[in-house]
Structure 1
Amino acid sequence: MTDEQPTRAPAAVVFDALGASYEQAFAASEAHRRSLEWLLARLAPGSRVLDAGSGTGRPTAETLADAGHDVLGVDVSPVMTALAARQVPAASFRCADIRDVPLADGSYDAVCVYFALLQLARGEQSEVVRRLARALRPTGLLALATVPLDVEDVEGVFLGQPVRVTSFAARDLTAMVEGAGLDVLAHEETLFTPARPDAVSEPHLFLHCRLRATPPAA
């Protein structure tokens, strides 16, 4: 008789399988680089930054840590987390589901959540964004990126791996973020083709937000 193995999050299974190939496929994203530049231009020296869904640590955690910021990356994939720790020793990384990580109110100057919500239900995505917003210090910054499609629990293939995807149309995503107490200061929509022979172009949406000075009523 063998011990039962704990059920692994679907995202952990997918990104454990992808490993470094994910970084290679998305390394050429200029929109991602511009998003990080937007953050860097507004962060005070030595800011505390949370990278939710930190992947391999590149480019997000590496770029922010190289600029002197105190970065914590959280990712559900143990393969990705171990790779990030090796590649970006100037940042800290934790293998965990962001939904389960305790986040003290007002504890971060900025939060990044790049393409980390797509395998969560819509209600879970909304709750995660609300938690991340509460974790920001007054007028803190949040950068969020996703694939802006009006889909819910749709089967697909991502870089050769089977996935189930849920997302919002751009307008609905913006409304969700604003409902969490964030003001969208800038956004960029673009088409990106991952660097793989079997890849197809996909829409990307980057939202650049600031915590509203007066949070909305509960």
Structure 2
Amino acid sequence: MTGNHDHAAAGAFDAIGAEYERAFAGSAAHRASLTRLLEQLAPHSRVLDVGSGTGRPTARTLADAGHEVLGVDVSPVMVELASRQVPEASFRCADIRDLPLETEGFDAVCVYFSLLQMSRAEQAALVGRLAGALKHGGHMVLATVPLDVEDVSAVFMGQEVRVTSFAPDAFVALAAGAGLSLLSREDTVFTPAAPGAVPEPHVFLHCRKDREAGV
């Protein structure tokens, strides 16, 4: 891990480990989102998986389809799990906010629920950087829990975390501000398979880089 960011998220997800995969494996909307992305990708595309977790289902699905996957996660435990479960992909333990990204180096970027422990300014800046790492015409999937909350305390799978997010339309505006065109949006509700879990809203945005931010 690099940089000066607070890595409370790393500690939380180190503790959660494989339990995260078990809790969220039943998300039909996540799998449908991956299917939609695969329909858009040329063979052997290069894909960046931000907040890659245990590697399943995202990196696993993409690697099985023959794509070149780079997963980045701040949690050493998650990176170790992913490397073991999806050996065909590459994984790096790093904070994506600090990781140098090759300009137009990826055909697609996946950001599944990995923004929630960043400030709103950090989320907007990161999505802009990720858009810069996309090739022209490349695809980005953004998924989050769309709530109008800022730096609130929450308990996630037994771990205390700080959460920041956007209301649904504001999240769409964030993507547009990064120069991304919205291709589709799915709003759903999912209840993780974990003790004490409650239904939570999810939104999945499928976007394409058709222009530069501000153009």
Question: For this structure pair, what is the TM-score category when the shorter chain's length is used for normalisation?
Answer: over 0.9
Q: In percent, how many aligned pairs have the same letter?
A: 65
Task: Name which of 125, 128, 133 aligns with 1:127.
Answer: 125
Task: Name which of 43, 59, 62 aligns with 1:61.
Answer: 59
Taking the aligned partners of 2:213 and 2:164, their CA distance within structure 1 comes to: 26
Aligned counterpart, 2:146: 148
Taking the aligned partners of 1:209 and 1:95, their CA distance within structure 2 comes to: 26
Structure with max Cα Rg: 1
Taking the aligned partners of 2:30 and 2:151, their CA distance within structure 1 comes to: 25
After TM superposition, the runs of 4+ consecutive aligned structure 1 residues lying more than 3 A away are: none
Superimposed CA distance per residue, residues 13-62 of structure 1 (whole angstroms, 9 cap, x where no aligned partner): 11000000000000000000010001100100000000000000000000
> Structure 1 residue 110 and structure 2 residue 89: aligned?
no
Letter in 2 for 1:215: E
Aligned counterpart, 1:182: 180
* Alpha carbons 2:29, 2:188 under 8 Å: kept: yes
Taking the aligned partners of 1:181 and 1:8, their CA distance within structure 2 comes to: 28
Letter in 2 for 1:88: V
Taking the aligned partners of 1:182 and 1:72, their CA distance within structure 2 comes to: 21
Q: CA deviation at 1:10?
A: 1.3
> Structure 1 residue 46 and structure 2 residue 23: aligned?
no
Unaligned ranges ≥5, structure 2:
none
Superimposed CA distance per residue, residues 101-147 of structure 1 (whole angstroms, 9 cap, x where no aligned partner): 11011000000000000000000000000000000001100001000
- Return 191-200 or 74-83, whichever deviates more: 191-200
Taking the aligned partners of 1:124 and 1:7, their CA distance within structure 2 comes to: 11
Q: What is the TM-score with the length of structure 1 in the denominator?
A: 0.95
The number of aligned residues is 212
Q: What is the TM-score with the length of structure 2 in the denominator?
A: 0.96
Q: CA deviation at 1:8?
A: 5.3
Taking the aligned partners of 1:7 and 1:31, their CA distance within structure 2 comes to: 31
SS in structure 2 at match of 1:84 = helix
Unaligned ranges ≥5, structure 1:
1-5
Cα RMSD of the aligned pairs, angstroms, is 1.2
Q: CA deviation at 1:197?
A: 2.5
Task: Name which of 27, 35, 38 aligns with 1:37.
Answer: 35
Aligned counterpart, 2:214: 217
